[in-house]
Structures are given as C-alpha cells and as structure tokens.
Chain A
C-alpha cells in the first residue's frame, strides 16, 4: 500500500522558488492500477520521483507499506520505467534483461531460466543476442519493461512510458501491459498526459490541478475489465468516463491557456 500524506514539493531556485506540488494526499491499495493526469508542470513525474526515493518532499510523508521512503534508497520491490530510453546500448538484450538479477548475484541457471521466460513474455524470442540499436523503439520499450519485471516488482511506476511511440506501437504495448498486470497484479502508478491512455488502462484516475497542485478529482473508472485495447474506445462506458474527467481536466487546460495568453 502506498500512502501520500500531505505532500508538498517546492524547487528552490535563485530567482524564484517553484512550487510544483501544493498539497497532495492519496492512498493507493496493493494491486491497484492508478493513472495520474494533469496539466504540465503539476508535478506528476515529481510524484513518482518521491515514491522511488530519487528526491524528497519539502513537506509531508511518503509511505510504502507503512515504511517512510528515504531519499537515495529505492524502496524494495519497486520498478520504474522512464520515458527516456534506459536500455544499456553496449549490452545485448539478454544481458540487459539479466542486469537486475546479476546485481542481486543470482546464479547463472536462475538467470538463464528467467531471461528465457521473460523474452517469451515480451515476444522477443530470437532477439536475445541483438544489440538494442538493432531493435525498434517499441521493442526497446519492451526490453526496459522486461528488465524491470526480472526483479519481480510489487510496485510499478510508469513515467509517460509510451509518450515517444506511434499510436499503433503504443496500443500494442497497452495490450501487453494490461496482460502482464492482469497476470501479476502489481500496484501500478502510471503518469501520463494522454487521457485516452489513462482511461484505457487504469482502474482509477487521479486528476491534479495546475501547480502548486492538489487533487482535483479522484475518479474510479467503471469500464469493465478485461478490456480490449483495440475496441474499448468505442464503448459508451469509455466515453462517459472520459467526459467526466475531461470536464475537470479541460478546465485546467483552459486556465493554463488563459494564463499564457498576452494581456
């Protein structure tokens, strides 16, 4: 279980301090698939950084399973997927997937077994000996996901992981992600700017306001599972949920546009 207890985050800069997160509290149960959406600069990614211990909040507490997250220490059982390509280019695909296991000092037979299973899970059989630059962007994303899954995370933090991909590849990856989550039931926190993606994948969507951000809406998505990523957009339930969230999120975007418009 993840608990965000009155989180506040301000970045101190020479000219002026930037308040990213104003006051956020939320509780995420184990096995939930939560998406976080909001206008740019609202601290969506910062939230994930705080959860992973890459940074610490200026105020409030982050608790995972009751234990406070400490800056500089990644909580046990936590996986993180960045928007950037984080596959090591000088290692072959299988060595990349095995990386987390070698860090843990797993035996060679365990590694081999696990890597083979993961390659199969990611539809990458036959690419184990390839270098990352020989793969497509979507395949490299899958390798990054498999690198994380090799460590059996109970919590998966996804920081706009599909942002740089074309629609077709993104949809295929959505399907794979849903499949993996349905099988393994990790807690997933997905940060995205794409409301379509959020409604397609998540069971619950947290809408943040413009910075300094707070929770505007905590919405339970009632699109029935299991969902088919190719047709879910056409269902009335999808449209209803999308509209409910857009009513709130769209207003924030409008405010943003108004603030940026010349006086």
Chain B
C-alpha cells in the first residue's frame, strides 16, 4: 500500500520546558480533577437538602408554623433511617422483605409478559399491512385512554394478588413495546431485504436473519422505559387493592397518618426504581453493543 509508516512522536519540549509525557499526564489529571469537583457538588447538594430537612423539623419556630417542616407530615431523615433499620434488622426485622419482593417480582413478571407480547404483536403487525390497518384505530384508541382508570376494574376481575399487578403492568407497558417494535419493523430498509434475497434467502430465512433482529433492536431500546413503567403499574395496582407490596405500605401509612413509614417506603421504592432502570440500561447496552448509537455513549 501507499501509506508510509507514521513517524514516531518527537519529544519536543513545550514553551515551559515540559515533555510530551508530562503534558499528557497533566491533561489526564485535569479531567480527573474536573470529574471529582462535579461529584463533590452533587454530594454537597444532597447533604444540604438532608441537613435542611433534619434541622428544620427540629426548630420549633419553623416546624410549628410551616407544614413542610412539621415532622408529623414530613418526618425527618434520622427517623426514616431508624424506621428502615427497624424493618430490616431492628424491632420488626424482616418486615420489609415480603413487600419488597412482592413489588419487584410483579414488576419483572409484568415486564417480561409485556415485552414478549409487545414484541410479537409489533413484529406481526409490521409485516402484515392489512392486519395493521384493521387494528390501527383500536390500538390508537386504547393507547390514548387514561389507562390508570382501568386499574379498579382490573383489580375487580383479577383480585388482590399477583395477577392484578401483572395485568396492570402489562396493560401499561405493552403499548410502549408494541409501538417501538412496530415502528422498527416498518422502518426496515427495503434494500437490506432485497440484498439478502440476492444472497439466496427464502422468506423464512429473511424473517429469522433480518426482520427479527432488526425489530428486536427497537424492542431493546424500549427496555429501560418499560421497566420504569412496569414498576409504576405495579405500585398503582397496589394502591387500588392488594395485601402486599410497597404500594400497599404507602397506602397503609396514609391510613395511619404515619409519615416515617411513608418516607421509608418511598425511599425503598426510589432505590428499587433507580436500580432496575440502571440495570436495564446496562442490559440494553450489552444487547445492542453492535449498534453505532451506543458506541458514542460508552
């Protein structure tokens, strides 16, 4: 080939006499320092927030006059931590786990059912134009309904157990996955299919090697949102009618006007939400490692 081997870097000292290596190290040091500084800002913000909360609710002048500093309504960080301690290893050790498990397991089951069904229906509709045209108005109508309004009905039909939660989660997540997969299935380039036809693919081979992977990619993109929606569905279902779960704990806290219980439950739910979404972001990235869109992000 015509390319010459690249010339080795020559260590020309800069104006201040530093070498190339020293300058590279300095650049790396600067970017590390920037990251650390930004992280410290975030820690400071959280600390400020928690400190205001803790101290504000202990100052009689504030807590007696302003509702958002009244510990009866907003509890306080130290109480919340104490409550979480009670629920896990303290006075009521183990109280939390069944509720936590109930919510997380329902979220996962609902997610799997919704993703699998949304994928298949989305793929099918994207390949069968007539089917898509016939069903399109109904799906659009269903999707624009306030689906939360159906949760009492779902609870009436499926009872107070796991089934209601899973059905609610499915009802909310299905459309997200369906629309994503459908759009992806429709967006496939005709040239890609024609090219593979010239390589000798039968229709079945085209579906297996081109149509399904193409649609799956779009399904995977919906995963982080889907898990977040699934959790929302499960908690709403627990609000409406259930005997276990984090949503149930929140409703009981409301009934007993117990702010510490309420905030302890909310804290656990937030951790669950953040963990599940980050987990599925990692999974999505792994599944789509071939995709150019993810190269920039990682």
A99 touches B209 (CB 8 A): yes
Pair B295/A84 contact, Cβ less than 8 Å: no
Q: State which residues 183-236 of B face A: CB under 8 Å.
A: 189, 191-192, 194-202, 205, 209-210, 213, 217
Do B205 and A82 touch across chains, with their CB atoms under 8 A apart? no
For the side of the interface on A, what is the size category?
20 to 34
Q: Are A84 and B209 in contact (CB under 8 A)?
A: no
Cα A261 to Cα B177 in complex, Å, equals 50
Whether A88 contacts B199 by the Cβ 8 Å rule is no
Q: In whole Å, how far is A101's beta carbon from the nearest beta carbon of chain B? A: 9
- Complex contacts, B217 vs chain A, CB 8 Å: 90
Measured CA separation A53–B140 after assembly (Å): 37
B290, CB-defined interface residue at 8 Å: yes
Known: A88-B192, A89-B291, A90-B213. A99 touches B198 (CB 8 A): no
Q: Which of A86-136 contact B (CB under 8 A)?
A: 86, 88-91, 99-100, 102-104, 131-133
B292 contacts chain A at the CB level, 8 A cutoff: yes
Contact B194 A99 (CB under 8 A): no
The one of A54, A102, A133 that contacts B290, using a Cβ cutoff of 8 Å: A133
Known: A99-B209, A104-B200, A151-B200. A82 touches B290 (CB 8 A): no
- Size range of the chain B interface in the assembly: 20 to 34
Contact of A147 among B191, B199, B202, B291 (CB under 8 A): B199
Q: Mark contacts of A66-97 with chain B using CB atoms, 8 A cut-off: 1 yes-contact digit, 0 otherwise.
A: 00000000100011101010101111000000
Docked complex: B229-257 residues within 8 A CB-CB of A: none
Known: A88-B210, A133-B295. A148 touches B199 (CB 8 A): yes
> Which one, B194, B202, B213, B292, contacts A103 given CB within 8 A?
B202
With beta carbons under 8 angstroms apart, the residue of A54, A89, A147 that contacts B194 is A54
Contacts A86-B191, A88-B210, A88-B213 given: A131-B290 contact, CB under 8 Å? Answer: yes
Contacts of A82 in B (CB 8 A): 191, 194-195
Q: Are B290 and A103 in contact (CB under 8 A)?
A: no
Contact A74-B205, Cβ < 8 Å, known A82-B191, A84-B191:
no
Cβ of A198 within 8 Å of any chain B Cβ, yes or no, is no
From B198, B201, B289, contact of A78 by CB (8 A): B198
Which of A52, A86, A132 lies in contact with B192, CB distance below 8 A?
A86
Shortest distance between the CB of A34 and any CB in chain B (Å): 18
Max chain A Cβ within 10 angstroms of own Cβ: one of B199, B201, B295: B199
User: What string of 1s and 0s marks CB contacts (under 8 Å) between A160-186 and chain B?
Assistant: 000000000000000000000000000
Are B291 and A133 in contact (CB-based, < 8 A)?
yes
B289: nearest chain-A partner, CB-CB = A131
Instruction: Using A89-B291, A90-B213, A133-B292 as known contacts, say yes or no to A99 and B196 having CB atoms under 8 A apart.
Output: yes
22 example contacts (A-B, Cβ-Cβ < 8 A) are as follows A74-B197, A78-B198, A79-B198, A82-B194, A84-B189, A84-B191, A89-B292, A90-B213, A99-B199, A99-B209, A100-B199, A103-B196, A103-B199, A103-B200, A103-B202, A103-B205, A132-B290, A133-B295, A148-B198, A148-B199, A151-B198, A151-B199
Leading 7 A-B pairs by shortest Cβ distance: A100-B199, A133-B292, A86-B195, A80-B198, A103-B200, A131-B290, A82-B191
Q: Interface on B for A, CB 8 Å cutoff?
A: 189, 191-192, 194-202, 205, 209-210, 213, 217, 289-292, 295
**12 further A-B pairs in the complex, CB-CB below 8 A; given A91-B290, A148-B198:** A52-B194, A74-B200, A80-B198, A82-B191, A88-B192, A88-B209, A88-B213, A89-B291, A89-B292, A90-B217, A131-B290, A133-B292
